[in-house]
Structure 1
Amino acid sequence: MKTVADLLKLKAQHHQQVHTIGPDQMVLDALKLMAEKNIGALPVVEDGAVVGIISERDYARKVVLQGRSSVGTPVSAIMSAKVITVDPHKQVDACMNIMTDSHLRHLPVVEDGQLLGLLSIGDLVKEAIAEQADLIRQLEQYIRGE
C-alpha cells in the first residue's frame, strides 16, 4: 500500500501544485481561484501554517444560504477552522478511512507544521483502484502458473 508521500510525488510529476489562500482575503478571491484552477477547496494558510480550509460547500452553506456577500466576507468567516491533517507517512487506506469517517473530500498533508500537499478523495480512490487492479493481475498470473 502506497503512502501519502508516494501520492504527492505522483501529483508533482503531473505538475499539480497546491493552491492556498490567506484568512484575510475575501471569499470572492477564493471562489475565483477555485474556478480558475478547477478545484473544490483551498487550504487557508497564515504564516506558513494551515489555519483552515475553504470549500465550495462552505461557500454554499455559509454565504449563499445565509445571505452574505462574497465580496465583503473574509475567508476566515466561513472557513472550516478545525482541519484534520495527515503526515506524509500515512498509508492510503488510513486516509480513506479518515475521510470517510469525517465526511471530508480534501485532506491537507502537513509535516513539521508546513503544508506539503492536498489530497482529494478522488486521488485516494484512483490509487485504491490501481492497487486492486494490480493485485488482480498478480493473482491471475499466479493461477496461470506464470
Structure 2
Amino acid sequence: MKKVADILAVKSRSLVSVAPETTVLDALKIMADNNIGSILVLSGEDYRGLLTERDYARKVILKGKSSTDTKVMDIMSTDLPHISPDSSIDECMQLMSVNNIRYLPVFKGDDELVGIVSINDIIKAVIANQAATISHLQSYIHS
C-alpha cells in the first residue's frame, strides 16, 4: 500500500500558510485564490495549527462572529494528529475516520513540516492503488 510520501511526491510543493494574527476573511481569500479547503497556520517557520472551512463554518458563521474581526488563532484547529511521510494510507484513513477530520499535517522528524494531506488525496491514492491491482489481475488472467 502506498505511503504519505507517495502522495506528497505528486502534490504541489508550495505550502500555503498564514500567520495566527491574520483575519479569518484574509485567510479565506487566500484559500479561495489557491482553491484549497484548509490553510496552514505558521508563526515564522513554526507550525501552530490548521484553519479549515469547517472551522470557519462552525466557529465563525454559526456563532455569529465577524470574519473581518476574528483572528485565525481564535478558531484554528490545533490538536490534529501528526503523520510522517512513512505513514501508510491505511493509517491516515484510520486517523481521519476516528477523529472525524479531513486534513492531516505531515512532519518529518518531530517538527519539520513537509506538507498536508487531505481526504481527497487519500481517496485518489486508494483509487489508483485499486486500479493498479485490477490491471495486474487482468494481466495475470489473460497471460
Do these two structures clear the TM 0.5 threshold for a shared fold by scoring above it? yes
| Amino acid aligned to 1:9 | A
Per-residue CA deviation, residues 93-141 of structure 1 (Å, 9 max, x unaligned), is 2111111121111111112312111111111111101111111111122
Distance in structure 2 (CA, Å) of the matches to 1:62 and 1:92: 29
2:115 paired residue among 101, 106, 117? 117
Judge conservation of contact 1:23–1:44 (CA < 8 Å) in 2. yes
The 5-angstrom pairing of residues 46-65 of structure 1 reads 46-65=43-62
Could you tell me which residue of structure 1 aligns to residue 33 of structure 2? 36
Q: CA deviation at 1:39?
A: 0.7
Q: CA deviation at 1:89?
A: 0.7
* TM-score, scaled to structure 2: 0.92
Identity %: 43
Aligned length: 142
Where has structure 1 moved over 2 Å in runs of 4 or more? none
Q: Does 1:86 align with 2:50?
A: no
Per-residue CA deviation, residues 62-83 of structure 1 (Å, 9 max, x unaligned), is 1111111111111010111212
1:128 paired residue among 119, 126, 130? 126
Structure 1 portions without partners, runs of 5+: none
Could you tell me which residue of structure 2 aligns to residue 66 of structure 1? 63
* TM-score, scaled to structure 1: 0.91
Corresponding residue SS for 1:135: helix
Corresponding residue SS for 2:140: helix
Could you tell me which residue of structure 2 aligns to residue 99 of structure 1? 96
